[in-house]
Chains A and B, each alone.
Chain A
Amino acid sequence: MRTIIFRTVAPYLTALMVLFSIFVLLRGHNEPGGGFIGGLIAASALAIYGIACGVAPVRRAIVFHPMSISAFGLFLSALAGLPSLLLHQSYMTSQWISFPFFDVEVDLSTPMVFDIGVYLVVVGAIASIALALEERESD
């Protein structure tokens, strides 16, 4: 698989796919998309990079162990339900703030934090499996 064409293209493709996965993640609240599908796209980006350039550069590039990324995602998702505690509402009640950013009204919410958590869980879990499989092959 390590042809020169693939190795040259893979980093750009990976960067593009990760960017696209974040786009899919953020549009997910009102349109098709979301944390799960975004996470899958990002994990396939990492897998492609792993196939082209080897697993070690991928592990260096994501800094943390994929399993820790996954755990942090779950942690974040569980925390996303907590702000409603301060407002005397039930767990997981969504909270919104919106502020103007130049000419655009930006909405931030706890469901978004939850979805980012889902994204990280999926990236971590799938990347962890994919990298482990790729490692066996190339060793």
Chain B
Amino acid sequence: MAGVSLNPELVAQSMNTTPVTLGDWVVIAPSILTILGGTLCLMTRKNMSLQPKIGIGFLALLVLANVALLARVIDRGVLTMVMGNWLPPFGIAFTVDALGAGLSLVASIVAFCTGLYASVSVDGTGRRYGFYPFLLLMMTGVSGAFLTGDIFNLYVWFEVLLISSYGLLVLGNDRAQLDGTVKYGILNLLGTNLFLVATALLYGLFGTLNMADLSQKVSAISADQAGMLSTIAALYFLAFAMKAAAFPVNFWLPASYHTPNIVVSALFAGLLTKVGVYALIRVFVLIMPAARSDLGDLIALVAIATMLTGAMGALSQGEVRRSLGYMIISGIGSMLGGIAVGSTLAISGAIFYAAHSIIVMTALYMAAGILRLMGGSYRLRDLGGLYAASPAFAAIFLILGFAVSGLPPFSGFWPKIMLLDAMLSSGRVWVATALLVSSFLTTIAIGRIWIYSFWRGGPEGTADGTAIALMPTDKALSSPALWVSLGILTALVIYIGLQPEWMLQLVSRGASGVVEPMGYLRSVFGGA
């Protein structure tokens, strides 16, 4: 600082003196790019044809930045950058391991596809009221949450993504949306407040917020602090379970996800709940593994209940979007099952499942949007005969459906196998049973949607054996952006299903990085 003399000894203790190269900046690039893109979009809000160009352009840059980040993490191990050149644990650290970088990449691909899809499905009013700025700023929050190495900073990124998500959810402003947003908003406010309270208690107990530092201090905890720590752990569990829509705090999701524009539902379905699961893995596996094994039975119970309510809810709904909403919940149950077991294999399975679920749920909601354009409704009762309209789309929908219910050879199969293996080998037979039952029910639910909307001759009332001629006329259907975005995600689902090796390597690397965080600690504090 100008005009103030600094004690060089103190500077050496508190400031980073090694030069930071251009390559290290890739750690922070996803957050900066989306802030810059989002603000540019907001400044040019009135220019509605420019909005998608800026938005999609910056989302493409985001994907590239995340590819570079993941490549660097695979090449060099965990990366850390501390803001303002302070040394950890004083400064706010961004610490990126294979888990964070991998999920951040998948999230950015999904965001890019939704940006593309939205160029068709979000109309002028939606753009004018800021769809693209909200989308980009939400990605700032999502990327920040995946990449940060500081638990209070994680809270801040949660707020960033939630505030943008409120905006996206209410965009369009009809009665059902306001209703959904109020439910979503109130429950998420409660959740973030619990998160904040738990973080304050954690800071009071340990005097640090850096995740690596916390991980060391928690493992060296004295007996009289242990009670306080389990309170904090329970608070964190409740807070993140709300975000992830776990049973019994899952009701906000089916109440709100079917209200906004379908592309917003697709984005939320992919990303938001998974950020909650990611936070659970970070807090319970990296920072307080002992609390995780104490809460193991509770997490397992919640996981079983979440899987089953999700699957049965999906089966009971007559509306495609609501049914898909319950499938998200069922998937969250599977990931919680992995966290309940907590072995490296189980966490790998949970991470793999999260990545798979981000892609496939977004793709399914996008497909539901196309279903609506073709058949004119989201209600199963009014749909039918779409196989004749487009056999290719019927096949895509079936592929995505198989993937979400965990049938081979698509991306849902591998994480379910890993989770099952881990659950059985750790003796959690009931969780494994619930996983199988919920997969089976999901298969029926998705089969039901497919048969009703594609296979039968026409909407309810069409006589058996006859078919009505259905020629979709909506102009939006001929726009390539819809099909390209759905195609990219479907291709990923098939590719991961057929070529799972690289993904398996990546997730097991991510999982062992949080189960045994030596690399994480070394990256933050340096040395041995």
List residues of A whose CB falls within 8 A of some B CB. Answer: 65, 67-68, 70-72, 74-75, 78-79, 81-82, 84-85, 88-94, 96-98, 105, 107, 109
Contacts and interface: CB of A to CB of B under 8 A. Distances in A.
B2 A90 contact: no
Contacts of A71: 38-40, 42-43, 133
Given A90-B84, A91-B81, A94-B1, 9 more contacts: A65-B45, A67-B42, A71-B38, A71-B133, A72-B43, A74-B39, A90-B91, A98-B3, A109-B2
B440 to A, nearest CB: 48
Interface stretch (B19-27, B194-202, B317-325, B499-507): B19-27
Contacts of B42: 67-68, 70-71
A88 B83 contact: no
Given A68-B45, A98-B2, A75 B39 contact: yes
Nearest to B1: A96
B40 A75 contact: yes
A85 B1 contact: no
Nearest to A85: B25
A98 B1 CA distance: 10
B85 A89 contact: yes
Contacts of A85: 22, 25
A94 B91 CA distance: 13
Contacts of B24: 90
Contacts of B2: 96-98, 107, 109
Interface stretch (B28-36, B370-378, B416-424, B511-519): B28-36
A107 B4 CA distance: 12
B16 interface: yes
Contacts of A94: 1, 84
B154 interface: no
A75 B83 contact: no
Nearest to A117: B39
23 contacts: A65-B45, A67-B45, A68-B43, A71-B42, A75-B35, A75-B36, A78-B32, A78-B36, A81-B32, A81-B83, A89-B16, A90-B16, A90-B20, A90-B24, A91-B28, A91-B32, A91-B81, A92-B83, A93-B85, A94-B84, A96-B2, A97-B2, A98-B2
A65 B133 CA distance: 15
Contacts of B16: 89-90
B133 A90 contact: no
A92 B15 CA distance: 13
A88 B20 contact: yes
- 5 closest Cβ pairs, A-B complex: A71-B42, A88-B19, A75-B39, A93-B85, A71-B39
Interface string B173-201: 00000000000000000000000000000
B82 interface: yes
A60 B19 CA distance: 48
B334 to A, nearest CB: 37
B419 to A, nearest CB: 37
A70 B35 CA distance: 13
Given A67-B45, A105-B3, A91 B39 contact: no
Given A67-B45, A68-B43, A72-B43, A90 B1 contact: no
B25 A78 contact: no
Contacts of A72: 39, 43
Chain A CB count within 10 A is highest, among B19, B36, B43, for B43
Contacts of A105: 3
B3 A92 contact: no
Contacts of A91: 25, 28, 32, 81, 83-84
A91 B19 CA distance: 12
B24 to A, nearest CB: 8
B15 to A, nearest CB: 9
A32 B3 CA distance: 19
Nearest to B86: A90
Interface string B65-100: 000000000000000011111000001000000000
A70 B82 CA distance: 27
Nearest to A124: B42
A105 B102 CA distance: 49
Nearest to A77: B35
Contact of B82 (A78, A90, A96, A107): A90
Contacts of B1: 94, 96
A78 B46 CA distance: 23
A79 to B, nearest CB: 8
Interface in B44-79: 45-46
Nearest to B21: A88
A72 B45 CA distance: 12
B159 to A, nearest CB: 15
A7 to B, nearest CB: 31
B12 to A, nearest CB: 15
A71 B36 CA distance: 9
Contacts of B84: 90-94
A90 B83 contact: yes
